[in-house]
């Protein structure tokens, strides 16, 4: 693929993810205009909005896969892996803000996303086992907090670069938000 074609495809996928997250009925014409490409360019690649949505979901899943691999959740020290994961995931969410529930329409991407969640859950369990997360917290709570903190920082605090947002998220997860006395 030519460099300009690759840039256009990336712009369409990112813009499609953003607009479809905001409005699942966004038109191909609106997505093309916002991406800065001709509507025919989008239609040549994607027959309809649903095909574009599925491609955006696949792009997001692929990007998350890269983050999980880079973070080395199974082998890197917990604090290092956690920071790498959070920094990478924040960047992915900002790039492809399509909601995970919208991914249900693409069975393959949704199944891969669920598998990725299991890998993160196993990492959170490893963090518990290694003493980074309290053992008295009910199962699933730390994982849910991590997910919500990341989502909040990715979506509502876009003025923080992903590294700074990751610093905040990791500190909040591991230290809490209560005043240290």
pLDDT at 3: 85
Average pLDDT over residues 126-142: 91
Q: Is residue 73 part of a domain?
A: yes
Q: Is residue 128 part of a domain?
A: yes
More confident residue, 5 or 126: 126
pLDDT at 107: 85
Give per-residue pLDDT as tens, 35-72.
999 999 899 999 999 999 999 999 999 999 999 999 99
- Model's pTM, two decimal places? 0.88
Q: Is residue 24 part of a domain?
A: no
Which band of pLDDT confidence, cut at 50, 70 and 90, is reported for residue 181?
Answer: very low
Q: Is residue 23 part of a domain?
A: no
Nearest CA to 24 among 109, 114, 101? 101
Read off the DSSP letter of residue 23: -
CB 91 within 8 A of CB 9: no
pLDDT at 2: 81
Q: Is residue 28 part of a domain?
A: no
Q: Is residue 69 part of a domain?
A: yes
Q: Is residue 47 part of a domain?
A: no
How many domains are there within the chain? Answer: 1
Q: Is residue 132 part of a domain?
A: yes
Q: What is the C-alpha to C-alpha distance for residues 69 and 167, in angstroms, rounded to an integer?
A: 20
Angstrom CA distances, 174 to 62, 71, 87, 118, 132, stand at 28, 17, 15, 20, 7
pLDDT at 106: 79
pLDDT at 29: 94
Q: 179 pLDDT exceeds 80?
A: no
Q: Domain of residue 129: give its range.
A: 53-175
Average pLDDT over residues 153-161: 81
Nearest CA to 119 among 167, 162, 64? 64
Which band of pLDDT confidence, cut at 50, 70 and 90, is reported for residue 4?
Answer: confident
Which band of pLDDT confidence, cut at 50, 70 and 90, is reported for residue 1?
Answer: low
> Domain holding 64: CATH number?
1.10.357.10
Q: What is the C-alpha to C-alpha distance for residues 72 and 94, in angstroms, rounded to an integer?
A: 21
More confident residue, 102 or 169: 169
pLDDT at 6: 86
């Amino acid at each position: 693929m030519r460099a300009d074609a690759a840039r256009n495809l990336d712009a369409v996928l990112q813009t499609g993810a953003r607009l479809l997250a905001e409005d699942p009925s966004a038109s191909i014409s609106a997505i093309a205009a916002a991406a800065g490409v001709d509507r025919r360019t989008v239609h040549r690649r994607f027959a309809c909005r649903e095909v574009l949505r599925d491609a955006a979901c696949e792009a997001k899943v692929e990007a998350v896969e890269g983050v999980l691999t880079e973070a080395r959740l199974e082998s890197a020290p917990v604090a290092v892996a956690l920071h790498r994961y959070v920094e990478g995931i924040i960047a992915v969410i900002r790039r492809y803000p399509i909601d995970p529930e919208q991914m249900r329409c693409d069975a393959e991407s949704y199944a891969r996303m669920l598998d990725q969640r299991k890998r993160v859950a196993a990492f959170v369990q490893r963090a518990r086992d290694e003493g980074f997360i309290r053992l008295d917290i009910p199962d699933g709570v730390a994982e849910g907090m991590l997910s919500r903190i990341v989502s909040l920082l990715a979506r509502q605090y876009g003025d923080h670069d992903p590294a700074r947002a990751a610093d905040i998220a990791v500190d909040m997860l591991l230290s809490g938000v209560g005043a240290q006395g």
